[in-house]
Amino acid sequence: MRGIGEIFKKEIARVVKDRKMLFSVFLLPALLMVGIMSLTSNLVSNMEEDIDSHVAVIYVSNMPESFQTLLDAGESAYDIRSMKEEEQIKEELKKGEADLWIEFPENLESQVENYREGDRIPQVKVYYNPSEDYSSAAYQEISGQVLEGYRQMLLQNRVGNLEQLTVFTVNSDNPEMVVQDDKKANGKALGMMLPYFITILLFAGAMGIGTDMIAGEKERGTMASLLVSPVKRSSIVLGKVFALMVISGISSLIYVVVMVASMPLMSKAMAGTESGMKMEITLEQGVMLAGILIALAFLYSTLIILFSVFAKSTKEASTYVMPAYLLVLVIGLMSMFTSKAPSSETYFIPLYNSAIVLKGILSDEVTWMQFASTLLSNLALGAVLTGVIVKAFERENVMAP
Amino acid sequence: MIEIKHLTKVYKLNKKQMQELHTKNNKKTAVDDLSLTARPGEIYGLLGPNGAGKTTTLRCIATIIKPTKGEIYVAGHEVQKESEQVRRKIGFLTSDIKLDPQFSTDYMFDFFGRLHEVPEQKLKERKEELFTYFGIKEFAHKQIKELSTGMKQKAAIAVSLVHNPDIVIFDEPTNGLDIITARSVMDYLRKLKAEGKLVIVSTHIMSEAEKLCDRIGMIIDGKKAAEGTVEELLALTHTDDLEDAFFEIYKEVKGEE
Ligand SMILES: Nc1ncnc2c1ncn2[C@@H]1O[C@H](COP(=O)(O)OP(=O)(O)O)[C@@H](O)[C@H]1O
Ligand SMILES: [Mg+2]
């Protein structure tokens, strides 16, 4: 037992004393993350601004005078071009040179004015290119707002008072229309991303150090010095597993804090989820989160160490650990994009259940039962792997080739 | 006491090793039915050319690897059944066991001292004695990766002796050392012997074996070809130095094949 503590302390000291290691394990990933996120958010908001400031190029055929007046009175500026051949306009739309083509029927105004019941209702056709950002934005604005306004205007001309035609409105004066559990909504946005980031960061943080702790020590010939000391193989293994757990746990904690702190940076990038950025975690949620993270840190550490034991060098170890890392990535993605309620057996599948439960904890949708089965199954698998590692440590062709 | 009874060690070779050795046989017998006894208060030397099986024998004694056949008793403990007790009794030094280059000698000394459960006070005394003897003090707080080969070897020797073991197993301890350092290592081994400890060393250097060892086991192709004090070996082969004696025995063994 004494050996576990000594080896644990040495492993921690090894990381703490090494500036390069400290930087590459704790700081660099956090910096990279913030960098990438603020970069994407800048790019996204630049793009939005660009679309906003773009003057839409619009062709209008058979332009009614009243529509022209309406456009002139409006705030937005449009580049209204004189008509060309139909084929040519479509070509320009395809190329993204033109954004919209509004085709009014001939004499729309008189058609509307002289309308009798039973006549064909005139149709305005709007052509656009949904794969061009400018074009779709123009379409949204013209068909949704400008043409709708125009229709109301013409309708008013015909019937005088519009109110007679309005049977009811929907939410025209209801500031309380959004009824949701804020906690749950907050969690939805967070719950979508955080588990994913936490699991992959936890693993990534443990990977470099874990492979160095085992395969690196074998490579450097320092493992053998532990093997001739009077500590049990199991103590060596546990000391290293716990140290790796703590280091990767702390690094993932740093990443999470950095992520939450840099949320304002990214809020633009995830427009509309402003409310999702508030982190309100109850004590119960906190306890559950901590429990799952500890179990995960344990399981990941044993996984990484297990693969490293069979490698002769850190390079070889990284190659062996890679598939496990990919598995963790895929599982994270799966949990991110499944909205179906998981069946109760799901909560007994280690790794996968932790991703589901993390998501559930953050959106306050998890039962203690689900939490407990997740916690136990991950810890149990970790314990089994630890046993396998100890067995491997006793094999001389693995440890002292 | 170390008692080796009919030790055989067969390595399983992997594909790469088979290619390197130009062999289709995936087994390599490194030690072949070797028996010997070394007692407290003596320096026993394993003498043989490279590849003879010296390191393999010592690694079996130190419980790093397991004998394929035979038994080894170290201070009464069998290496496979009671490996932990064996590790408590021995100080083991070999070139492929290294100290972590990121740490200082001082840190490593304390670390292994604690693993051996040496009491703090005792640990201080041991450090004072060994660091003074090997002149480690001036670089004790430098990272081991910054040390020269000789300094590293001295550090490794000191650390391997932190728990004041009764049985000292050194594999080619003077390898790569300058003559002054090599001399001081040999002197220290004599001092250990004088304290009544059992020292077992391996070497391929005849003059070193001749000067240092009370008894010598000559190892050729994993077998013990001859054993005795220097005088006994010289008398046996009618020669007057150990190198000649070794060649006589070598010829005899190889001639039989
Ligand atoms: N881990 C190993 N796997 C396979 N063969 C080995 C291994 N270690 C040593 N050998 C072989 O065993 C023989 C004895 O090696 P060793 O004990 O190191 O000799 P010595 O120390 O006397 O030079 C050599 O032929 C060597 O190639
Ligand atoms: Mg050797």
pLDDT tens-place string over residues A18-70: 888 888 778 887 787 778 777 877 787 888 888 888 888 999 988 898 888 88
**Separation of CA B58 and ligand 2 centre (Å):** 9
Mean pLDDT of A75-98: 87
Q: What is the pLDDT of residue A183?
A: 59
Q: What is the pLDDT of residue A189?
A: 60
Q: What is the pLDDT of residue A186?
A: 56
Query: Which helix or strand (DSSP H or E) is residue A100 part of?
Result: strand A100-103
Could you tell me if the CB of B30 is within 6 A of ligand 1?
Answer: yes
Taking an 8 Å cut-off on Cβ atoms, the answer to whether A224 and B114 are in contact is no
Better pLDDT: A359 or B107:
B107
The answer to whether the CB of A247 falls within 8 A of the CB of A29 is no
Mean pLDDT of B220-230: 95
pLDDT of residue A268 exceeding 70: no
Residues of A with CB under 8 A from a CB of B: 2-3, 6-7, 10, 13-14, 17-18, 217, 220-222, 224-232, 396-397, 400
The answer to whether the CB of A247 falls within 8 A of the CB of A206 is yes
Q: List the single range of A201-205, A306-310, B124-128, B171-175 with lowest mean pLDDT.
A: A201-205
Better pLDDT: B237 or A119:
B237
| CA distance to partner chain B, nearest, from residue A29 (Å) | 23
Taking an 8 Å cut-off on Cβ atoms, the answer to whether B99 and A222 are in contact is yes
Q: Is B243 on the interface with A (CB under 8 A)?
A: no
Mean pLDDT of B42-58: 95
Gap between the Cα atoms of B213 and B199, Å rounded = 9
The answer to whether the CB of A321 falls within 8 A of the CB of A221 is no
CB pairs under 8 A between A and B: 68
Q: Which atom of ligand 1 lies nearest, measured to the CA of B219?
A: 22
Q: What is the pLDDT of residue A280?
A: 61
Write the residue in B62, B64, B102 that is nearest to A14 by C-beta.
Answer: B102
Mean pLDDT of A223-232: 92
Alpha-carbon torsion, ordered A360, A361, A367, A369, to 10 deg: 100
B257 pLDDT band (50/70/90 cuts)? low
Q: List the single range of A190-204, B2-16, B243-257 with lowest mean pLDDT.
A: A190-204
- What the block records as the tokens of A56 is 């839409």
B117 — alpha (psi -120 to 50), left (phi > 0) or beta? left
Q: What is the pLDDT of residue A274?
A: 45
Residues whose CB falls within 8 Å of the CB of residue B185, separated by 6 or more in sequence, listed in order = B153, B154, B157, B173, B174, B177
pLDDT of residue A272 exceeding 60: no
- Which residue in B has a C-alpha nearest to residue A224's C-alpha? B97
**Separation of CA B30 and ligand 1 centre (Å):** 6
Write the residue in B65, B97, B116 that is nearest to A230 by C-beta.
Answer: B116
| CA distance to partner chain A, nearest, from residue B253 (Å) | 29
Q: Which residue has the tokens 């799952």?
A: A292
Query: In this structure, which ligand is nearest to the CA of B49?
Result: 1
Distances in Å between the Cα of B31 and the Cα atoms of A42, A376, B9, B34 are 69, 48, 5, 7
The answer to whether the CB of B226 falls within 8 A of the CB of B53 is no
Domains of chain A: 2-44+181-399 (no CATH), 54-165 (3.40.190)
If you write DSSP's letter for every residue of chain B in order, what string do you get? -EEEEEEEEEEEP-HHHHHHTT-S--EEEEEEEEEEEE-TT-EEEEE--TTSSHHHHHHHHTTSS--SEEEEEETTEETTTSHHHHHHHEEEE-TT----TTSBHHHHHHHHHHHTT--HHHHHHHHHHHHHHTT-GGGTTSBGGGS-HHHHHHHHHHHHTTT--SEEEEESTTTT--HHHHHHHHHHHHHHHHTT-EEEEEES-HHHHHHH-SEEEEEETTEEEEEE-HHHHHHHHT-SSHHHHHHHHHHHHHHH-
Q: Sheet holding B198-203: strands in order across?
A: B90-93, B167-171, B198-203, B43-47, B215-220, B223-228
Q: Which residue has the tokens 């304002």?
A: A264
Q: What is the pLDDT of residue A265?
A: 59
pLDDT of residue A266 exceeding 70: no
Residues whose CB falls within 8 Å of the CB of residue A276, separated by 6 or more in sequence, listed in order = A185, A186, A188, A189, A190, A270
- What the block records as the tokens of B141 is 């707080």
The answer to whether the CB of B217 falls within 8 A of the CB of B249 is no
Mean pLDDT of B207-219: 94
Model confidence pLDDT, tens digit, residues B145-156: 999 988 999 999
Interface test with A, best of B85, B112, B115, B153 (most A CBs within 10 A): B115
If you write DSSP's letter for every residue of A193-208 in order, what string do you get? HHHHHHHHHHHHHHHH
- Which residue in A has a C-alpha nearest to residue B63's C-alpha? A228
Gap between the Cα atoms of B124 and B137, Å rounded = 13
pLDDT of residue A260 exceeding 50: yes
Domains of chain B: 2-96+164-254 (3.40.50.300)
Strand, coil or helix: what is A78? strand
**Separation of CA B9 and ligand 2 centre (Å):** 14
Q: Nearest to residue B61, comparing CAs of B48, B74, B47?
A: B74
Q: What is the pLDDT of residue A273?
A: 46
Model confidence pLDDT, tens digit, residues A122-166: 899 999 999 888 999 999 888 888 888 888 888 888 887 777 777
